[in-house]
Amino acid sequence: MKRGTVVWVDLSDTRPPEMGKVRPGIVVSGTVHNDVLNTVVVVPTSSVAPEIWPLRVAVGNFAGKESYAVIPGIRQVRKGRLRGALGELSHEHLRVIDECLDAYLR
């Protein structure tokens, strides 16, 4: 699975404030690792605005809705939770997510 792929991911079995249900997520783990491991790391998306840098950043339109990457929702998931690809993030959007992850995790 390529880094930057937008996938449907089943995030059920959660409790607030964790994000649940099946929703688009952005694969942020490295492509080489994704090919070897049974898991990937995703940043879930939400259609709830507004953008709040570095916690919530606009990433384009997925599944017919303007989408925002929810950086604090980052998580490792089994590949069995993935339900198919929606497309790929642009290089610019992936760069912005990298900046947000760096700001959030430091």
Q: pLDDT tens for residues 62-91? A: 888 999 999 999 999 999 999 999 999 999
Among residues 48, 46, 49, 42, which one has the least CA distance to residue 83?
42
All structural domains of the chain: 5-105 (2.30.30.110)
Average predicted confidence (pLDDT) for the chain: 92
Q: What are phi and psi of 54, to 5 degrees?
A: -95, 15
Assess contact for 64 and 24: CB atoms under 8 A. no
- pLDDT given at position 34: 97
